[in-house]
Amino acid sequence: MSALADRRVVLGVTGGIAAYKAVEICRRLVDAGAHVAPVLTAGAQRFIGSATFDALASEPVQTSLWDEDNPIPHTRLGQGADLVIVAPATARLLADYRMGRSAGLLTATLMATEAPVVVAPAMHTEMWGQPAVQDNVDTLAARGVVMVGPEPGRLAGGDIGFGRLASPERIVDVARTAVLGQAHDLVGTRVVVSAGGTREPIDPVRFIGNRSSGKQGFELAVEAHARGAHVTLITTVAEHADRFAPWRSTVEVVATAAEMKVAVDAAAVGADIVIMAAAVADFAPTGSASEKLKKRDGLPEISLEPTNDILAGLGERKAPGQILIGFAAETQDLVDNASAKLAKKGADLIIANDVSAPRVGFGHDTNAVTILGADGSKHDIPLSDKREIARAVVNSALEMRTRTTNKETT
């Protein structure tokens, strides 16, 4: 059952051009089984009509503190909510909320709730960059408000920059994490995730690659970020740079195993959790040709040399308390092969998947894994979407971290 099923969600909408996207958020929440009560500020009503929300939400739109038929609506809304989402949130909403200024029904509801609050800011790049706005965001985040986005992309007026509302999909995803009480699990931690298959050049136009799509690594980065971590995503998939650039995260695009090693090794210093989800080539052509190999020159001979094992290197240098996670893509003897990798590479957890099974692993939206711990633990996660697998992996990392920390302090 969805984490949002039967949860009462107040969906606050403020006056920004992204207000139209709140309709999609509303629909997704309702589809997930939530009871959605929309609250529109006066500004929001200039961008979008109440009728749209009235038709889609679980109850009619509310806009005012002063309603004769419905006295003290903010208390009813705030106290009854399991979750409050504000999307989009303007700079003004952030300032009012930070200051505790009850400026209308939405801010009054925010004051009157003890439920988790998810805020998705959207504004122009210059506004978002204002020290005052950043200060408000920092303060709200430090108080436990869950911030999602903004992201880079096209803004009102055709500008491109940082400030676009996070996608409705991501906002609902973070809402789910918040309702599960997991939104702060990783606050103050640094998580490094590698994703995608490396590409080893043969010549300027050809490479040796593999079938990894990078989806599982991407979902791990999103999950860790949703739970409050500062995430560094090191990926071979260029589109990730557009899709994964939320607040306080870093994304680096690399191509080869050698480039990935440099980036991961640097990012792993001081990281709390490192997840090697990338499918790193084990062999690379010895020296890439500087010009395109031509047919007329006959069949080329491609000699290969081994790459460095990034995970094994991290295992050797692992700092106390760091949790190191690897993947094991296998086609036979899943648990035996994966256990051997766990030991050989000095990892704390290995996520083993049988990539020959239907709908599992490379390129699919779903995965089925066995999570093996260096402490002998073993969890089977049946076929689920990669976001759910990511949740299970992060849960296991946190359990391992707690066990490790407890052991170190006793």
In this structure, how many other beta carbons lie within 10 angstroms of the beta carbon of residue 179?
Answer: 22
Return the number of the residue (63 or 216) whose C-beta is nearest ligand CTP: 216
Find the binder of ligand CTP among 59, 282, 333, 380 (CB under 6 A): 282
Best CA proximity match to 94, nearest among 83, 80, 110: 110
310 lies in the site for ligand CTP, by CB under 6 A: yes
Instruction: Determine the size of the site formed for ligand CTP (CB under 6 A).
Output: 14
Spell out, one character per residue from 199 to 238, where the chain touches ligand CTP: x when CB under 6 A holds, - when not: ----------------------------------------
146 lies in the site for ligand CTP, by CB under 6 A: no
Find the binder of ligand CTP among 53, 244, 247, 327 (CB under 6 A): 327
Return the number of the residue (282 or 375) whose C-beta is nearest ligand CTP: 282
Q: Which of residues 232-271 bind ligand CTP (CB under 6 A)?
A: 257
User: Which amino acid type is present at position 169?
Assistant: E
Q: Which of residues 354-383 bind ligand CTP (CB under 6 A)?
A: none
Point out which span in 163-171, 175-183, 324-332, 377-385 binds ligand CTP (CB under 6 A): 324-332
> Which of 210, 353, 367, 395 is the catalytic position?
210
CB of 369 to ligand CTP, least distance (A): 12
Find the binder of ligand CTP among 37, 165, 329, 334 (CB under 6 A): 329
Residue 147 · residue 134 · CB < 8 Å? no
CA dihedral 343, 346, 351, 353 (to 10 degrees): -50
326 lies in the site for ligand CTP, by CB under 6 A: yes
Dihedral pair phi/psi, residue 294, rounded to 5°: -100, 145
Q: Which of residues 338-357 bind ligand CTP (CB under 6 A)?
A: 341
Find the binder of ligand CTP among 29, 65, 174, 311 (CB under 6 A): 311
CB of 327 to ligand CTP, least distance (A): 4
CB of 210 to ligand CTP, least distance (A): 9
Point out which span in 150-158, 220-228, 234-242, 308-316 binds ligand CTP (CB under 6 A): 308-316
Point out which span in 3-11, 168-176, 323-331, 356-364 binds ligand CTP (CB under 6 A): 323-331
Return the number of the residue (155 or 278) whose C-beta is nearest ligand CTP: 278
Indicate if the alpha-carbon torsion angle 65, 66, 67, 71 is positive or negative. Answer: positive
Point out which span in 127-135, 161-169, 302-310, 369-377 binds ligand CTP (CB under 6 A): 302-310
CB of 180 to ligand CTP, least distance (A): 27
Find the binder of ligand CTP among 185, 252, 272, 309 (CB under 6 A): 309
367 is catalytic: no
CB of 338 to ligand CTP, least distance (A): 8
Structure tokens at 354: 């049988």
Spatial CB neighbours of 352, under 8 Å, sequence gap ≥ 6: 327, 328, 330, 334, 335, 337, 338, 369, 370, 371, 372
What residues are labeled active site? Answer: 210
Which residues make up the interface to ligand CTP (CB under 6 A)?
257, 276, 278, 280, 282, 307, 309-311, 326-329, 341
